[in-house]
Amino acid sequence: MKAKFAFPIVIAGSLALAACGTDGAEEAAPEEKAEAAETTTAVNGDAGVDATTVSDSESPVKSQASDGTGQADMRKKMQALDYTEFELEVEYDNDEEYEAQLELKSDNSVVAGYEDDMNGIKKQGIEAFNDLYPLVEQLELTPSSNQEEEIRKVLSTFSLPDDFSDFSLELRFSDGTKHEFKVEQ
């Protein structure tokens, strides 16, 4: 009689465990998607959601943010700046370059990322924002700024050598005005 009741209990328990378990594919997918992300991380306006984007496609891949309040803080800080977009590219003769992007998009998402070939650093998302924001905040650039003076300020603030071959800085100010500083040497 004990065997009569044991068999259905074992079957029911097995089915319950099978329904709760995963094959591991769901857990591996966010890691694979994170490795595929190349240059920027867009932080969506939804609290607690971090959307990573591949540099060319801008299509978000949602994953949990490490800090639920990080996105709101980034938006708030970006709104306090005079610019909504900061994009810097500095190239050097030895095929090394420094690229940085910090942008508050019209949908209130924040894009942040940088790549520093000279120091072998490549960061995205909240980590890149935390490195870039204090530097960008120090800069007081205006559309009427003297180009040479502003380039020196940017190079100094970002601790970059001044022997560049190409320098490009694109800014979009809070009022929508766009300004570019470009120099080829």
Q: Which of 51-55, 84-88, 90-94, 118-122 has the lowest mean pLDDT?
A: 51-55
Answer yes or no: is pLDDT of 153 > 70: yes
> Given CA atoms 146, 150, 137, 92 in this order, what sign does their dihedral have?
positive
Paired tokens of 165 = 């071959």
Question: What's the average model confidence in pLDDT over 96-102?
Answer: 97
Q: Please tell me the predicted confidence (pLDDT) of residue 185.
A: 83
Higher-pLDDT residue of 91 and 8 is: 91
Q: Which of 37-41, 81-85, 99-103, 135-139 has the lowest mean pLDDT?
A: 37-41
Q: How confident is the model at residue 71 (pLDDT cuts 50, 70, 90)?
A: confident
Higher-pLDDT residue of 32 and 160 is: 160
Q: How confident is the model at residue 9 (pLDDT cuts 50, 70, 90)?
A: low
Reported as a single tens digit per residue, the pLDDT across 15-24 is 444 455 544 4
Answer yes or no: is pLDDT of 166 > 80: yes
Higher-pLDDT residue of 143 and 47 is: 143
> Given CA atoms 110, 116, 119, 120 in this order, what sign does their dihedral have?
positive
Q: Give percent of the chain above pLDDT 70.
A: 63
Name residues whose C-beta falls within 8 Å of residue 116's C-beta, 6 or more positions apart in sequence: 98, 122
Mean residue pLDDT across the chain: 74
Answer yes or no: is pLDDT of 126 > 60: yes
Name residues whose C-beta falls within 8 Å of residue 68's C-beta, 6 or more positions apart in sequence: 47, 48
Q: How confident is the model at residue 171 (pLDDT cuts 50, 70, 90)?
A: very high
